Amino acid sequence: MRRRRRFPVVRATAEVLNAANAVQPLGREGYVTIPVFFLGWPTGEAAPVIAGASMLDALRRGIRGDFRGTEGRIALGLTAASWALLGYVYARNKRSRPAFEEPLRKALGDDYVTVAKAERRRRPGGVLRTSWSRRAYVKKTDVVRYGPHRANVADIWHRSDLPLDGKAPVLLQVPGGAWAIGMRRPQAYPLMGHLADRGWICVSMAYRISPRHTWPAHIIDVKRALAWVKENIADYGGDPESISITGGSAGGHLCALTALTPNEPQWQPGFEDADTSVSCAVPIYGRYDWFTSKGSGRPEFISILQKFIVKRPFAEARNLYLEASPITKVRADAPPFFVLHGEDDSIIPVQEGRDFAAALSAVSKNPVVYAEIPHAQHAFDFFGSPHGDYTAQAVGRFLDWVRAKRD
């Protein structure tokens, strides 16, 4: 007979703790938030997949005899408890739709309801199927270069039957990754798949990243991509006069900063005359403050900026950090904004989203919608989970509302 694995209780305890971390982050201060996020995020958003894999593995181990005896029964009980917690997480996520819809309804009123009713319903892609959605909308010829640097590439998502003279609305998607990863694939697939299916064109870009490249290379690339889209998107059937921008995490920061600084020459070297204004912006769980040193996770964040991103001490380059902070750029003529943030975000605490939305709302003449998603972790829209589907639908309705008002 094959020998049973040792320490089944230890393994089962680890599963329970991982599930509990998905229910609520187990750490909110210091660098521990990084492993807390990386373990809790996929577990929370892909709970059915995680639970299913655990059940299959438990069946395999049960056949092997791992759950015999007192220790084995305890291990099985703990493992079953982890399944119950994952089921609770999934059910809770399914109930979160009002957190996405009610802020839009409250801020935009009857016009929002009218536009939302015009939406063509589609079956959610699910966690696994959504990860392959790019294949349906991006051909080899849709991978383009928008600038002179190696990282200056983008994928253009669109339906193959989109008419070239249709003037489809356009969304520029800016990836996150702490300004040091910047992978455009597979970020925002639920959103871009949803919009492309409804006749939008989505441009998913990459940009130069740190530590190899130093700020402000990142924002320059976003501005350059936006200028390229305005000049070339008509060739794909897009409307250069109807371009919105979105992004999550570092991409949320770049998205907000781009929307609040149209045509600023300091970030448009060599293309100063290009129009870099946008119709609206949707930053998701973004960073909006590069200068505050006190608060949850702030000292660690400022340290990372100084060492790897800006590469200059804050004391010697204070104005550079202030200029890079969207919260210092709020303005009366800002375009419409839809700001989303997760209540349980352990990477960028939710207070940052609250403060930015409040500061922008206080001065902007255009709508500022703020949606705080209960129990949501950082990157909650990444998978085709309930959170990912609700994000795609809510953002799509907001973009449609802005376009309807513009037209």
**Residue 34 located in a structural domain:** yes
Mean pLDDT of the 35-52 span: 93
**Residue 156 located in a structural domain:** yes
User: Where do we find the tokens 């949501």?
Assistant: 376
For residues 124 and 82, membership in a common domain is answered with no
- How far is 406 from 204, CA to CA, in rounded Å? 24
Q: State how beta strands 201-205 and 281-284 pair.
A: unpaired
Q: What is the pLDDT of residues 205-252, one digit of tens each?
A: 999 999 999 999 999 999 999 999 999 999 999 999 999 999 999 999
For residues 154 and 241, membership in a common domain is answered with yes
**Residue 79 located in a structural domain:** yes
pLDDT at 1: 44
295: pLDDT strictly greater than 80: yes
For residues 199 and 336, membership in a common domain is answered with yes
For residues 68 and 102, membership in a common domain is answered with no
Q: Is omega for the bond preceding 186 within 30 degrees of 0, making it cis?
A: yes
Structure tokens at 249: 């995490």
Question: Lowest mean pLDDT: which of 18-32, 279-293, 302-316?
Answer: 18-32
Give the CA count within 13 Å in the CB-facing half-sphere of 329.
24
For residues 365 and 283, membership in a common domain is answered with yes
**Residue 3 located in a structural domain:** no
**Residue 2 located in a structural domain:** no
Mean pLDDT of the 281-308 span: 95
* Coil, helix or strand at residue 204: strand
**Residue 1 located in a structural domain:** no
**255 within 8 A of 174, measured Cβ to Cβ:** yes
Which of 63, 94, 125 is a domain's end point?
Answer: 94
Q: State how beta strands 143-145 and 153-157 pair.
A: antiparallel
**Residue 242 located in a structural domain:** yes
Which of 79, 94, 109 is a domain's end point?
Answer: 94
pLDDT at 117: 55
- How far is 323 from 281, CA to CA, in rounded Å? 19
pLDDT at 112: 79
* Coil, helix or strand at residue 141: helix
* % of the chain surpassing 90 pLDDT: 83
- Domain range for residue 80? 8-94
116: pLDDT strictly greater than 90: no
Structure tokens at 30: 């210091």
**Residue 184 located in a structural domain:** yes
Q: What is the pLDDT of residues 134-164, one digit of tens each?
A: 889 999 999 999 999 999 999 999 999 999 9
For residues 280 and 385, membership in a common domain is answered with yes
* pLDDT class of 119 with cuts at 50, 70, 90: low
**81 within 8 A of 18, measured Cβ to Cβ:** no
122: pLDDT strictly greater than 60: no
The chain-wide mean pLDDT, for the chain, equals 93
For residues 57 and 132, membership in a common domain is answered with no
Q: What is the pLDDT of residues 61-111, one digit of tens each?
A: 899 888 989 999 999 999 999 999 999 999 999 999 999 999 999 999 977
Question: Lowest mean pLDDT: which of 106-115, 136-145, 179-188, 261-270?
Answer: 106-115
For residues 269 and 334, membership in a common domain is answered with yes
Which of 65, 94, 123 is a domain's end point?
Answer: 94
CATH number at 144 reads 3.40.50.1820
Vertex 332, ends 262 and 348: CA angle to 5°? 75
For residues 122 and 268, membership in a common domain is answered with yes
- How far is 194 from 63, CA to CA, in rounded Å? 43
For residues 253 and 309, membership in a common domain is answered with yes
* Coil, helix or strand at residue 169: strand
Q: What backbone phi and psi angles, to 5 degrees, belong to 177? A: 125, 35
- Count CB neighbours of 110 within 10 A: 8
pLDDT at 124: 58
Number of domains in the chain: 2
Q: Please identify every residue annotated as catalytic.
A: 249, 345, 378
For residues 49 and 177, membership in a common domain is answered with no
Spell 319-337 as b/e; 16+ CB within 10 A means b. ebbebbbbbbbbeeebbbb
* pLDDT class of 46 with cuts at 50, 70, 90: very high
For residues 57 and 110, membership in a common domain is answered with no
Q: What is the pLDDT of residues 360-388, one digit of tens each?
A: 999 999 999 999 999 999 999 999 899 99
pLDDT at 28: 80
Question: Amino acid letter at 348?
Answer: I
- Count CB neighbours of 30 within 10 A: 11
